[in-house]
Structure 1
């Protein structure tokens, strides 16, 4: 009986390797610390808008990495716990047998009731099994230590996450104020804002609005913009949820991308352009229409806060606005962000249009592989 039990436990395999969740969380915490230093430095920067934009992006990168480390720690703990639960009966019997052996005199353990031959065989068996038992017990000890370590990582990461979320809100508020207070405002061309607002209120669709948009001066030549095809960064940190022409849960297809973002994520210009419109449009929430070159229009829809004004010319990486924040989300979503390391995503709709109609963003933007 003991032999079968020991063999089955030995065949169960060694403990899983130590997770790298701790190193991921540590690197993310260091990134958040550097972002905090950047936030302090941005206060004295000559171009506070640019400095704060970089700071917010640094916080977003750090928080994303921290969530990944926290998620990895929870997955590793769940995997180890599930395996130990599956072996619970065998481990209990092993520990019980070892307790009996530990409490019995050594002489009695070496004797077999059927005589010296069987005593010798039992001794050989025990000699063979002892190293395997020791290895299995060491693996079990390692598993238990890993669980304790992973729980400590989670506690530390959750504290860092809560602090990082507080700090990024401060950085976002500072950025919004810097945009509003900036003295060296970007160049701006004349734009009939009243006519644009009327056009937006009368529009029956995004296509209708874009088609009736009057021509305006572009920030760059079309040829320059065409040379950037395939190399543009996404306007927001996130994951492409729906591609060009994909059908959503309601069966609706749209000629653009739907990108999952963290609440409050910063939206920036992927290319220099002229703001043609910014404000509410249909059921898209706040919309930013950026003209990167003559004959092209970039539509960014679903924002909560939008920066700039119609006719304003902005540079690449300039802040355009913020996605809805955790404060405007449902209470359980906000609690999920601070407590579980998982965020209920906001969704940015991205559509790139040419004079011929919508084009596939996949031909223009680069997407980092996860």
Structure 2
């Protein structure tokens, strides 16, 4: 076959056969995972913003100083979690843009090969003067054939190049999206640093006020540490703390001394108040203590074969950990094998355990609201576990989220 016919065949094979033979496999699962992470981060960001606004309104309406301070601290903790979710969303946006860019690069690489063939063929044709085609036998026939093939191929070439230009525009848009995501991450990090400093100062003030207000808090904290040393495991520690809490409540229900009336004849025996029957209502506005993916569900078998008594969440490095519900801190400190833990006693016989903390911002005897700061997750990230118990029996915390 003569040279012009070979060039025409290359043009037709390169462009008309491209979609069927040169399509690279796309990693759709990676893009979908990045999109799912972005959706989850944005949802966490919206939830934290809503909690922050609600708690800020509660703090502004509250007339009680202690309640106002707790609501303000919880609102600030929610804003910290909002900033953390903003960082996670920016990272997910960057990951999504990079995933789409890698997929686009593979598609562009598949289109570069036929484009190189086309460029070479056109370059060969331009090097051949038309005057030589008139002198060489059969060249005019080949030239007519080549022109006919080009007339039918050029529209397809234009269509393919238009798609290629569109992909190049999309690549530039993905680069701009990646740069915007990096800028948003820097802004969220700056906001997080500022709010975390405010929260640390506010949490220190709350601990100091709690110790000054409760004279027996130090004795209760020492008793909790003794129980932690004596308990065989975490279950026994919770049981003993719950028993101590029940005793404290029964003592609080006992009648106090009756003041002597001015007129003894008018004195009447005051009726002993009877305790109300215990309700079973779970904590209101119950929430997860930290933002993160659930890595272990309730009842799942662990590495040792023992069933999970709660859930575990993969927390960000130094992520803000908050109280899952309103109540009273009955233990706060290190416990063997669980890092630093916080146990919150709720009303009606409910108890929450939060384990795996790197630092604690609460003390024993301190009252907390749902969302009050408890401490921070490990600096390098890790699992923060949550257990919810009703009268000592573990239940699934996810069933009580509000």
TM-score greater than 0.5 by the shorter chain: yes
Query: Offset of 1:104 from its aligned partner?
Result: 5.8
| 2:205 is aligned with 1:181 | yes
Structure 1 residues 358 and 209: CA distance shift in structure 2, 3 A:
same
Q: How does 1:21-32 map to 2 (within 5 A)?
A: none
Structure 1 gaps, min length 5: 330-344
Match of 1:350 in 2: 386
Match of 2:118 in 1: 94
Q: How does 1:61-76 map to 2 (within 5 A)?
A: 61-76=85-100
Query: Offset of 1:323 from its aligned partner?
Result: 1.1
| 2:18 is aligned with 1:9 | yes
Between structures 1 and 2, the one with greater helix share: 2
Classify the secondary structure of the residue corresponding to 1:244: coil
For normalisation by structure 1, the TM-score amounts to 0.74
Classify the secondary structure of the residue corresponding to 1:308: coil
Q: How does 1:74-153 map to 2 (within 5 A)?
A: 74-101=98-125, 114=138, 122-153=146-177
| 2:286 is aligned with 1:232 | yes
| 2:301 is aligned with 1:247 | yes
**Does the aligned pair in 2 maintain the 1:189–1:311 contact within 8 Å?**
no
Match of 1:269 in 2: 323
Classify the secondary structure of the residue corresponding to 2:163: helix
Query: Offset of 1:285 from its aligned partner?
Result: 0.7
Query: Offset of 1:80 from its aligned partner?
Result: 1.3
Classify the secondary structure of the residue corresponding to 1:225: coil
**Does the aligned pair in 1 maintain the 2:324–2:352 contact within 8 Å?**
no
Instruction: Indicate the larger mover: 51-60 or 272-281.
Output: 51-60
Q: For 1:121 and 1:8, how far apart are their aligned partners in 2?
A: 20
Query: Offset of 1:53 from its aligned partner?
Result: 2.0
Match of 1:314 in 2: 368
Q: For 1:159 and 1:111, how far apart are their aligned partners in 2?
A: 65
Q: For 2:145 and 2:237, how far apart are their aligned partners in 1?
A: 89
Deviations 1:273-312 (A, max 9, x none): 1111111011111101011223221010011221222122
Q: How many pairs does the alignment contain?
A: 327
Q: For 2:133 and 2:321, how far apart are their aligned partners in 1?
A: 73
Q: For 2:356 and 2:378, how far apart are their aligned partners in 1?
A: 8
Q: For 2:378 and 2:107, how far apart are their aligned partners in 1?
A: 40
Match of 2:313 in 1: 259
Classify the secondary structure of the residue corresponding to 1:53: helix
**Does the aligned pair in 1 maintain the 2:279–2:348 contact within 8 Å?**
yes
| 2:244 is aligned with 1:215 | yes
Match of 1:362 in 2: 398
Match of 2:354 in 1: 300
For normalisation by structure 2, the TM-score amounts to 0.68
Query: Offset of 1:51 from its aligned partner?
Result: 4.5
Q: For 1:271 and 1:76, how far apart are their aligned partners in 2?
A: 40
Q: For 2:79 and 2:134, how far apart are their aligned partners in 1?
A: 70
